[in-house]
Every structure is written in structure tokens, then in C-alpha cells.
Amino acid sequence: MAMQPFRFVRPRTLAEAKTLRAENDEASFLSGGHTLLPTIKQGLARPPILIDVTCIHGMSGISASESAVTICAATRHADVAASEIVQAKIPVLAGLAGSIGDRHVRNRGTIGGSLANNDPAADYPAAALGLGAMIVTDRREINADDYFTGLFETALEPDEIVTRIVFPIPDVAAYAKFRHPASRYSIAGVFIARTDGAVRVAVTGAGGQGVFRAQAFEQALTNDFRAEALDGLSIDPDTLLEDLIATKEYRAHLIHVMSRSAMGHPGTVQTYK
């Protein structure tokens, strides 16, 4: 199937991007493009205009305060992985970025594009939800708990642009994922973080409605922050995703195993396949 013709524009300011979008409500924002471009090639999307946001001033870069790391939305995975700031402040986030896809994906994909797309098997949604991040757009701030609303769905309006993500610096955090050997997407991934005594456990790759918090795991680890505290806990398989890759029951088992693995390797990313 031949791709339909479209206009490609690369605005230099956020105001210009918003004006272009306002002039055509069928236009699509483009960041890394790893989901949008294949969709266009398959004829499943036909935006007349692609608005590339990666060259907008202020949309790339990483900074930190005493309590948080801020990553601008057009920052590429490879830059997050290589950032001395992220490595020093939230090393598990740097490791997570370095585990995404392959080298080609990491040198093109962006954190804002990943969070805006909210693929149910993506890694960044687990980090954002697990760390309790704030997603900042061109018009508001959205807490991660309110941002992810379903499979490939977020609280973003169609014309809203993610500009940066603010990650609180945890006392300790870890991420473990079991990934598909070909696609490298997570079949089940668990991000655990403790920040000022509060524990958050986020699961990606397994949820029937996308990334979610495992509250029973959080409560157990709040009371006893050891891997052994997770013994006997499980996720209801009926709430999980089932496909040709893994059954619901297998994903429930993997969540427990990945949780134990994350707890056994604080500050790191563990990958299995």
C-alpha cells in the first residue's frame, strides 16, 4: 500500500507548532516516530501534516534540582542513558533508557513520544508511574497517576504537547523486565521505588489496561522493604493481558518474579528473555 502524501513541517517554537495544529485539526505531532510512521505506512493513519517537535527550542535537555530530575520531552533515549545527571541522581532511569529497544531505537526515540503514545509494553510509563512523575504540557501539569488512562490512551487532549517530565529523586529504585527476544518489548516489567518512605510499584507489559500500580505489593513493601515481603502475593490474572506471547497466568507469575528480582538488585535494571 502506497503512503498517502503529507506535508512535513519542523517548527522552531512551541507557539508555531500550536498554530500549525490549530490550522488543521487532523495534523499529527511527530517526535521519535517509531509508532506513528509505521502506522502511516500501513495506511492506518493519514495525517495531512506532520509537525516535528524535536527542533523546538527548549524541548530537549536534562536538568536537576535537589529533589527532582527534569527531562525535556524531545530528549532521546540514548541521551537519557548517557546523561551524567540521570546516572548520578536516578541511575535506574538511565539504565532503563539504555535497555529500550536497540541502538537505532534509542538514537531516534524520545521520552515524550513514548509517554504520549503510552504503549502498554513500553518502559518509560513504568518509570513515570513508579516514580510518581509529573508530566508537564504546553498548558498544565498532570500527575502520573492521572495521566495514564488505558491502552495507548492518556489524559492528553488531541492538540496538547508534552514539554517535559519531572521525576522525583527516590531514596532507592530498581527495574526488572522479562522481554520478548525479538521485539524487546516487556512481557512483564516491574519498577519499584521508595521516596521519602513511600513505596510505589508500577507494572508494564502485562496490564489489560496498560501500565498500573500493584497496590498490594506497595503495602507489603511499605511495611517491610525486603524481597521476602512479597512472598505469597500475586496479581489477579483476570486483570492482565493475554496474547500469543504469554497467558494471563504466566504474566501474573512473571510480575512476582520480576518484583523479587528488582528488590534483589536496588539501583539497577535487570533484563531477562
What band does 3 get if pLDDT is binned at 50, 70 and 90?
low
Reply yes or no on whether the pLDDT at 213 is more than 90. Answer: yes
Residues of the chain with CATH 3.30.390.50: 172-272
- 172-272 CATH: 3.30.390.50
CATH node for 62-168: 3.30.465.10
Contact 50, 3 (CB under 8 A): no
At 133, the amino acid letter reads A
What is the per-residue pLDDT across 85-103, written as a single tens digit (0 to 9) for each? 999 999 999 999 999 988 9
Coil, strand or helix at 4: coil
- Grid cell, residue 243, equals 496474547
Phi, psi of 80 (to 5 degrees): -65, -45
Q: Would the pLDDT of 78 be above 90?
A: yes
Residue owning grid cell 520478548:
180
Range 139-148 average pLDDT = 98
How much is the pLDDT for 48?
Answer: 86
Sequence-distant contacts of 213-219: CB under 8 A, at least 24 apart: 213/129, 213/145, 214/190, 214/255, 214/259, 217/192, 217/259
> What confidence score (pLDDT) does residue 182 get?
80
Q: Give the residue-averaged pLDDT of 173-182.
A: 93
Could you give the residue range(s) of every CATH 3.30.465.10 domain in the chain? 62-168
- Cα 103 from Cα 97, distance rounded (Å): 11
Phi, then psi, of 218 in degrees rounded to 5: -60, -45
